[in-house]
């Protein structure tokens, strides 16, 4: 691998061609027994186990080194730590994977051919990766409402990451939409900056954990607008910016304009299965299907772990657990193929 591609990451990632280097300089083919795609808890944990099995794994980080936890603040449910910052936790796990012997590369897989072995993946750097086994750990991405006005103001008052953008709303009013853990966490985080946080939810109860709900309801800056969704984001053209949202009562259809400077969309995540959608069996709206109790996908030698395959639990610890399973499944499968012995 060309110098400069291995990343001491945890730093905010810049998903540009420059960050990966010039594709023409980097073009090469690299073979590995186990290619791990994704650098969240699932990918890094798979890497720790695969490296300790002497499989010399190569891990590709993608555009979000460290995965979803790098865009949150406090994590309070990672065993052994009553509280840790998401980015710090992911840097620790990355360092662990590296120390065990994983080759961690800053690249983005843009094409994956699972039709024949060795499997082939193309990186945005120009590198082609071939692998005897692949562990998919590409996680999930934020979902959006799909409104034209939401699109219009993205980056100009509309955000899906309070940790990233909350600071811009010091002394201002913000609206958050959603009723899950993410929405409640985002709303609470935004109280550090904003003077008022309105949480809009389409039902009359939240699905967030009760402890989070208690914190939310107790907070003097938080106001909840029940049984509403958002019909439109309101704003100005010059300068481009948000001035409010048009909330719609889901029962009566009546609309109310809620003034705000920032609008945070926190309505969940969709599995990042684009690379494999025409190659692997998917279910439940795009999640990679695995044989229950394992990480085996519909193609032998291809394993999936974490949020990419899990529409039920979607936690860091369950993703890590599945990453462990994927490495063990890959090791056993490779052994059956006579390919697990070190070169
Ligand atoms: P992700 O963390 O989604 O990582 C996916 C990885 O795949 C990324 O590194 C990405 O760059 C990479 N990738 C994607 N496509 C490609 C590609 N084409 N090529 C190469 N790489 C690619 N869970 C908890 O247990 N506790 C919490 O407190 C908590 N807080 C959260 C707060 C927020 C705001 C969010 C959004 C989630 C939170 N979660 C929490 C859920 C937790 O973050 C996820 O369950 C977990 O990160 C999933 O891990 P993963 O490894 O499956 O995928
Ligand atoms: P989620 O649990 O799927 O919740 C999404 C929320 O958005 C739901 O309340 C849903 O409403 C609402 N919603 C969905 N589509 C909508 C739309 N088009 N318009 C308006 N509202 C919409 O997603 P999440 O909160 O991102 O959590 C994802 C996973 O990560 C969960 O497993 C969660 O436990 C985990 N997580 C954990 C923590 C933690 O442990 N501290 C923190 C963050 C996330 P309905 O309720 O009506 O369906």
List, for the chain, all residue ranges whose pLDDT scores fall below the cut of 70.
Answer: 1-26, 339-343
- pLDDT confidence of residue 314: 87
- The fold adopted by the segment(s) 144-265 is FAD/NAD(P)-binding domain (3.50.50)
Q: What atom of ligand 1 comes closest to residue 142's alpha carbon? A: 36
- pLDDT confidence of residue 339: 55
**∠ CA(113), CA(129), CA(102), 5° rounding?**
125
Say whether 144-265 and 29-141+269-336 share the same fold: yes
Q: What atom of ligand 2 comes closest to residue 313's alpha carbon? A: 32
Residue 2 CB burial class (10 angstroms; 0-12, 13-18, ≥19): middle
Residues with CB under 6 A from ligand 1: 37-43, 60-65, 67-69, 71-72, 75, 77, 108-109, 137-140, 182, 185, 272, 275, 306-308, 314-317, 319
Q: List the catalytic residue out of 25, 164, 204, 257.
A: 164
Q: What atom of ligand 1 comes closest to residue 323's alpha carbon? A: 51
- pLDDT confidence of residue 36: 99
pTM: 0.82
What lies within 8 Å, CB to CB, of 266 at 6+ separation is 160, 162, 176, 177, 178, 180, 182, 183, 186, 187
Contact 323, 43 (CB under 8 A): yes
Q: Which CATH class is domain 29-141+269-336?
A: alpha beta
Contact 119, 276 (CB under 8 A): no
Q: Domain residues of the chain, as ranges?
A: 29-141+269-336, 144-265
- Catalytic annotation present for 260: no
């Amino acid at each position: 691998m060309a110098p400069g591609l291995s990343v001491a990451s945890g730093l905010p990632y810049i998903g540009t061609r420059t960050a990966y280097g010039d594709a023409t300089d980097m073009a090469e083919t690299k073979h590995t027994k186990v290619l791990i795609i994704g650098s969240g808890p699932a990918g890094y944990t798979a890497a720790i186990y695969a490296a300790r099995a002497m499989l010399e794994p190569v891990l590709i980080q993608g555009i979000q080194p460290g995965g979803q936890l790098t865009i949150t603040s406090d994590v309070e449910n990672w065993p052994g730590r009553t509280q840790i910052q998401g980015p710090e936790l992911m840097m620790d796990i990355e360092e662990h994977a590296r120390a065990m012997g994983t080759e961690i590369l800053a690249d983005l897989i843009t094409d994956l051919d699972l039709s024949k072995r060795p499997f082939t993946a193309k990186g945005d750097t120009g590198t082609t990766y071939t692998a005897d086994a692949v562990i998919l750990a590409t996680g999930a991405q934020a979902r959006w409402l799909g409104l034209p006005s939401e699109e219009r103001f993205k980056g100009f008052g509309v955000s899906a990451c309070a940790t990233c953008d909350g600071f811009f709303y010091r002394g201002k009013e913000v609206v958050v939409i959603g009723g899950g853990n993410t929405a409640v966490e985002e709303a609470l985080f935004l109280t550090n900056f904003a003077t008022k946080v309105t949480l809009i939810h389409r039902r009359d109860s939240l699905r967030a954990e009760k402890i989070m709900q208690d914190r939310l309801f107790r907070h003097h800056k938080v106001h909840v607008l029940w049984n509403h969704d958002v019909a439109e984001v309101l704003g100005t053209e010059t300068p481009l910016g948000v001035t409010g949202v048009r909330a719609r009562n889901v029962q009566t259809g009546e609309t109310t304009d809620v003034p705000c400077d920032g609008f945070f969309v926190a309505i969940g995540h969709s599995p990042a299965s684009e690379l494999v959608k025409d190659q692997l069996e998917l279910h439940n709206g795009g999640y990679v299907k695995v044989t229950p109790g394992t990480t085996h996908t519909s193609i032998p030698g291809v394993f999936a772990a974490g949020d990419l395959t899990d529409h039920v639990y979607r936690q860091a610890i369950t993703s890590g657990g599945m990453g462990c399973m994927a490495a063990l499944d890959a090791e056993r499968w490779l052994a059956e193929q006579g390919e697990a012995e070190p070169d």
